[in-house]
Structure 1
């Protein structure tokens, strides 16, 4: 029985992975069960053995993608030395987010590309799951503001939405012909540092000069 259960779980995981690929490539409207089954190397009716509907499958992929992203960013932050500054913690979160989106997970990319296309009930479920990720970023930005690492005139809530929105949009425009992921990461981190940081005395002197 355990061996049979393991095979069943493996098939289910294969369907989920196939659905993430198809959602990333074709979007919610174009993601047909027959396409998902083909990528999973199954016949289309077999998908209904594991999922009652296409939307149930899509919802599970989207929630899994959101969790994958949050867990990856959390793990990257937990691995930082205790003395890491609040601004460098933000930059580490930026890198972890982009690498998941652009290199590691079709699940996370499926979320970014389809969260605005799915039905309201799936969107609501995704929003509940995504609230924890936004809470993580809220803590990062509030810590940086408390430390004086970011400008006092910035609204952390607006900054959080703009940063996450920009990171989530990266899969829509990036491909390898636009440069390496390393370049994208470094550029994003530079924009974060210079956009959030309070100007130093040298910066002010250069501006006035």
Structure 2
């Protein structure tokens, strides 16, 4: 089997596993269902993954790492003179774009985090902390620049991330364009985090 074909099959298994996990949950997901979704026989999965546990662990890690890498790369492409608030909005756009493109991975992570064994949580911990640190830096920089109100920034990060992470649970393209969704999220972030305008004198 060529390396390109092997990699394509491995990717197909991962996407199939993410789809089944997003529907069935960690406890109810079976290799037979994943194999059927990937159009493979169940024994073929063991060529790529030694166990169900390892496959699920990889799905979680791939979903989380691809999200962080996409957002990190999007921020790296911005001009240095982009304002801190605009950087937050760019990060939100990148988060939604990759999250909805990889919606089964994202939904699998969102729905199954509380069910995962400790060793999978440990595997995900460093990447999760790195992504949280990225958002913490974005928020702190905007606050220092006077573009975020004097609020509980730790809570603000969790509220923003919670809203972004939950989007695959309810959004689909029949409800409007991704561009409109991103613009709405960015408007909520700007007006929700930004300083409250001082009323003009009467």
Length-normalised TM-score, structure 2: 0.90
Deviation at 1:105, TM superposition (A): 5.1
Of the three residues 117, 120, 123, the one matched with 1:122 is 120
Q: Deviations over 1:15-73 (max 9, x none)?
A: 22221222233332342211111122210112123222211101111111111000111
Residue matched to 1:39: 37
Query: Aligned equivalents of 2:39 and 2:159: distance in 1?
Result: 40
Q: How far does residue 4 in structure 1 lie from its aligned partner after superposition?
A: 4.4
Q: Which runs of 5+ in 2 are unaligned?
A: none
Corresponding residue number in structure 1 for 2:149: 151
Count of residues in Structure 1 that have an aligned counterpart in Structure 2: 202
C-alpha contact (below 8 Å) 1:20/1:110 kept by paired residues: yes
Aligned equivalent of 1:195, options 192, 197, 202: 192
The answer to whether the aligner puts 1:173 opposite 2:170 as a matched pair is: yes
CA distance in 1, matches of 2:90, 2:4: 36
Larger helix fraction of residues = 1
2:107–2:169 Cα contact (<8 Å) kept: no
Equivalent residue, structure 2, for 1:56: 54
Distance 1:156 1:4, change over 3 A: same
Deviations 1:158-208 (A, max 9, x none): 11111111111111111233322222211111111111111233xx23xx8
Distance (Å, rounded) in 2 between the aligned partners of 1:13 and 1:185: 28
Segment of structure 1 superposing worse, 182-191 or 137-146: 182-191
Aligned to 2:69: 71
Could you tell me how far apart the structure 2 residues matched to 1:51 and 1:40 are? 14
Residue range with higher mean Cα deviation, 108-117 or 126-135: 108-117
* Displacement over 6 Å in runs of 4+: none
Gaps of 5+ in 1: none
